[in-house]
Structure 1
Amino acid sequence: MKKMISTTLLLAFTFSAIGQTTEEDAIRVTLEAYLNGSSHSDMEQITSAFYPEADLFLSKKDQELWILSPQEYAELFKNREKGKFNGRVGKILAIDHQNTIATAKASIEIPSRNMTFIDLFLLKKLNGEWKIISKAATLMDQ
């Protein structure tokens, strides 16, 4: 009986972990679309990661708060060659999710300009798909 309870608990834990991994993987797909799109100047890939009405709260020299829509943000890459690596290196640092909401943190390094940004994301699962509903970014002191 004791072995059966242990086995049941182990299976429950395993299925729970698998479920969480699946959701985390789905969140990673969304974040990677943004990171890869912004690293390769792919406007469609960038916007695909966002809820269309999301707000992006960004850092800009001499401006305390710079707010853009996903489309406005993607347009910052329009004069660069689509698909060509542009020097931005993105890395997911953390993901936390509960049911249909998630938070995430990523670093964006631009070595050629000696710049590192930290991005914080708020995500929501909408119609079975994870979307970034808000993003805030800050430029780290160099």
Structure 2
Amino acid sequence: METVASKVGVEEEKHLIQVTLNDYLQGRPVKDIERLRGAFHPDAYIRTVIEGKLVQWTLPQYLDLVAQATLQECKPELLSFTWDGDTGSAHVQLTFATFRFIDRFNLIKLDGKWLIMDKVSYRQEPL
């Protein structure tokens, strides 16, 4: 039986996870580097496949790439997320005019805050 206390705990966790995911979803399209930095664990890795090869960046390298990217209109979407204890995962996408990033995140909760520990990204083009 679910109690009021457990429902409150679930809603609080959902909210905390959504705060982190929204920092990414709202920060990335406008190149808000500090908001993005706050969504990720400092030791996070970002990975993708380019021309059939695995490419990976540390968080500082990734943030440098975002800072250099062309600013474009974007539709950010949270597709799904789930968690168990202090680990979780999320599926999001950023749709630009001619391509879409489809991202999957591994999340971890440290000191009461959810952080993106790893990002695996797929670039779908053209739309």
Please indicate the TM-score interval, normalised by the length of the shorter structure: 0.7 to 0.9
Q: In structure 2, what is the Cα distance between the partners aligned to 1:76 and 1:63?
A: 20
Distance change >3 Å, CA 102–CA 76, structure 1 → 2: same
Shift of 1:77: 2.9
More helix by share: 1
Instruction: Report the RMSD for the aligned CA atoms in angstroms.
Output: 2.0
Identical amino acids, percent of aligned pairs = 25
Q: Which runs of 5+ in 2 are unaligned?
A: none
Q: When the two structures are superposed, what TM-score results if normalisation uses the length of structure 2? A: 0.87
Q: Which runs of 5+ in 1 are unaligned?
A: 1-8
Q: When the two structures are superposed, what TM-score results if normalisation uses the length of structure 1? A: 0.79
Residue deviations 1:90-141 (CA, integer Å, cap 9, x gap): 1111010111111100011112x2x122100000001111111011011236
Q: In structure 2, what is the Cα distance between the partners aligned to 1:63 and 1:71?
A: 24
More strand by share: 2
Q: Is the 8 A contact 1:41 1:86 kept in 2?
A: no
SS in 1 for 2:21: helix
- Number of equivalences: 126
Q: How does 1:2-81 map to 2 (within 5 A)?
A: 9=1, 12=3, 14-60=4-50, 62=51, 64-79=53-68
Q: In structure 2, what is the Cα distance between the partners aligned to 1:88 and 1:21?
A: 28
